[in-house]
Amino acid sequence: MLRTIFGKTLFEKRWTILIWFAAALISIFGISMIFPPIRDTMGSMMAQVPQGIENWFGESSTWQTFEGFAGMEVFGQMAILLVVMAIVFGAALLAGDEASGTLLTVLSRPVRRSSVFWQKYLAFVAMLAITAIGFYGGAILGGWALGEAVSYDGFALATLMVFLLSLALGSLAYAIGAITGRKALAGLIVGFYAFVAYFIASLSTATEIVDKLSYGTLFRYADAPAVLANGLDGRNVLVLSLVSIVPLLVAWAIFIRRDLRTR
Amino acid sequence: MSVIKTRKLSKTFGDLRAISDIDISIREGSITGFLGPNGAGKSTTMNVLLGFISASGGEAFLFDEKVGVGNVRARRDVGFLANNMALDGSLSVAQELEFFGRLNKNYDADFVRDLAAKLGLDMKLKIGNLSTGNRQKVALIVALLAKPKLLILDEPTNGLDPLVQAEFNKIIRQFRDDGATIFISSHILSEVQELCDDFIFIKRGRIVAQMTRDELAAGSNEMITIKPSPQNRAKIIELLRKNKIKFEQKTTDLESTFMKFYEDENA
């Protein structure tokens, strides 16, 4: 485990990873447990509300199945949990090491900056993937506990989109951290964007302008209810993947050349 | 052969010229003291040599290999230790040393264990629970574990007690005796004078003097130290006065008293 920077990063963060995994599993399982009362109230309520409000909250039929509920609540609203984790770790993994000085200690050994950059990033992806598994597991366990029909493939694809969304935002935070060496700045910029984007995406059905604005939010491309209903949309996968990769490559090119923060 | 060589090395941070036209040459097998007040440019020079920051002008070589931010080859045989070097507090001493050891091709676990034993470090303790001195011992082992041919030390004993300082200096001397070259900056002038063969003085980013120990001695007044017993102390003073020989009376300094009390504890 301690043979590589990748292994050491995971080893160091093992308890944090475990806590996030458990938090994702338990909270998603807990949210799943509210499905029966939600089904009863939302089903009858949605049948009486105007069309605009129904668009906002989802059609009444959506709330009648566990899969529909999972698309709206679990993979829709609760995606923010994984997003927060991704931004926190993306911002801190490399820039945090630079701020604390441990990066200089590593680079005082014959280690390439590229190697540190990519190994730390891979560790970040692994941490996110483990938490996403907890997310998926919580939804499956919730379905089992309620005796509802569970779409394993559909949930896996919805989890994949939530993972890609979180990866894109986490990668942005990682990239800003690598360019500036400042984790707080990276977290603040991406966190602010995610906060605004989340609201715009949530309100996208309210008006046409907000709907147009929502194309600028990454949340639009991780549309879980649509994934559960229609399967993966390759274009959305491409957008989220490109947002992960392009800033990362730019950050890598800058990080291997720039002056590091020395204390 | 020059282990470190710089030609007109410069570094600016915005409008601030941190170092200007630095020309230094460090000979193989020497211990060279790099001296100057805070902000003189010592750390900046070392950071450029280590590739942490890039030079704004001029060039630097380690073992004839040009130094650059991306050039790992230049610092292949270099160990670095700075004051308060950051380590991961969540790992044990053994885990931290294993990790840093495995970043090097020629990792010798026995050598690391011996060094830790020599420094009296408990390998099972967590880094986060160590005192400043013990953390710095771990950082020293990190710097030494690949048996580097060049050690760059940036105020390595700053803030450490005299016992740990003495231990550090013993190990540094041992490394020099084994053929390594040492480039050290320190504010503790007595330590530098005792340890170093060569001296480089830097002021406001410029080298103002570079000299050997012999050259330093030749330029200073010779001083003889006499340590009289209480019985003949008065006689010696009288004799010196009678012969009109200038002398200075000095009581035992605090450092030597401290060392007398505690050095056995460390043996």
| pLDDT tens for each residue of A160-179 | 999 999 999 999 999 999 99
Tokens of residue A133, six digits = 């598994």
pLDDT at B266 over 60: no
B50 vs A108: CB contact, 8 Å cut-off? yes
For tokens 């044990």, name the residue.
B92
Residue B43 belongs to some domain of the structure:
yes
* Mean pLDDT estimate for chain A: 87
Q: How far is the C-alpha of A105 from the C-alpha of B142, rounded, in Å? A: 9
The alpha carbon of residue B77 is apart from the nearest alpha carbon of chain A, in Å, by: 8
Q: What is the CATH number of the domain that holds B37?
A: 3.40.50.300
Q: How many CB atoms lie within 10 A of CB A236?
A: 19
pLDDT at B265 over 90: no
B69 vs A104: CB contact, 8 Å cut-off? no
B54 vs A259: CB contact, 8 Å cut-off? yes
pLDDT at A11 over 70: yes
| pLDDT tens for each residue of B187-239 | 778 878 888 999 999 988 999 888 888 887 776 666 677 888 888 888 888 88
Residue B184 belongs to some domain of the structure:
yes
Q: For residue A263, list chain B residues with Cβ-Cβ distance below 8 A.
A: 84
Q: How far is the C-alpha of B139 from the C-alpha of B150, rounded, in Å? A: 16
Contact criterion met (CB below 8 Å) for A29 and A145? yes
pLDDT at B186 over 80: yes
Give the confidence band of B26 by pLDDT, cuts at 50, 70, 90. Answer: very high
A101 touching B, CB under 8 A?
Answer: yes
Residue B207 belongs to some domain of the structure:
yes
Prediction pTM value: 0.85
Range in A45-49, A105-109, A143-147, B122-126 the model is least confident about: A45-49
Distance set, CA A179 to CA A91, A186, B48, B95 (Å): 11, 9, 19, 30
pLDDT at A157 over 60: yes
ipTM of the prediction greater than 0.85, yes or no = no
Q: Which pLDDT belongs to residue B97? A: 93
Kindly give the interhelix angle for B132-144 and B109-118, rounded to the nearest 10 degrees: 150
Residue B86 belongs to some domain of the structure:
no
| pLDDT tens for each residue of B129-151 | 998 888 989 999 999 988 899 99
Q: Which pLDDT belongs to residue A95? A: 95
B43 touching A, CB under 8 A?
Answer: yes
Q: How far is the C-alpha of A219 from the C-alpha of A161, rounded, in Å? A: 10
Residues in chain B: 267
Residue B261 belongs to some domain of the structure:
no
A112 vs B70: CB contact, 8 Å cut-off? yes
**Within the 128-187 window of chain B, which residues sit less than 8 Å (CB to CB) from chain A?**
139, 142-143, 146
Domain that residue B60 falls in: 2-77+148-223
Closest listed residue to residue B193, CA positions, set B213, B221, B164, B169? B213
Residue B90 belongs to some domain of the structure:
no
Residues in chain A: 263
A80 touching B, CB under 8 A?
Answer: no
B103 vs A8: CB contact, 8 Å cut-off? no
Closest listed residue to residue A113, CA positions, set A226, A219, A13, A260? A260
Segment of A30-44, A99-113, A197-211 carrying the highest mean pLDDT: A99-113
| pLDDT tens for each residue of A177-187 | 999 999 999 99
Contact criterion met (CB below 8 Å) for B34 and B184? yes
| pLDDT tens for each residue of B35-93 | 988 888 999 999 999 999 999 999 999 999 999 887 888 888 899 999 878 898 889 99
Q: For residue B51, list chain A residues with Cβ-Cβ distance below 8 A.
A: 107
Tokens of residue A152, six digits = 């394993």
Give the confidence band of B267 by pLDDT, cuts at 50, 70, 90. Answer: very low
Q: Which pLDDT belongs to residue A225? A: 78
The alpha carbon of residue B153 is apart from the nearest alpha carbon of chain A, in Å, by: 12
| pLDDT tens for each residue of B4-21 | 999 999 999 988 999 999
Residue B160 belongs to some domain of the structure:
yes
Q: Which pLDDT belongs to residue A47? A: 66
Residue B230 belongs to some domain of the structure:
no
As for how many domains chain B has, the answer is 1
A49 touching B, CB under 8 A?
Answer: no
Pairs of CB atoms within 8 A across A/B: 78
Q: Which pLDDT belongs to residue A61? A: 65
The alpha carbon of residue A111 is apart from the nearest alpha carbon of chain B, in Å, by: 6
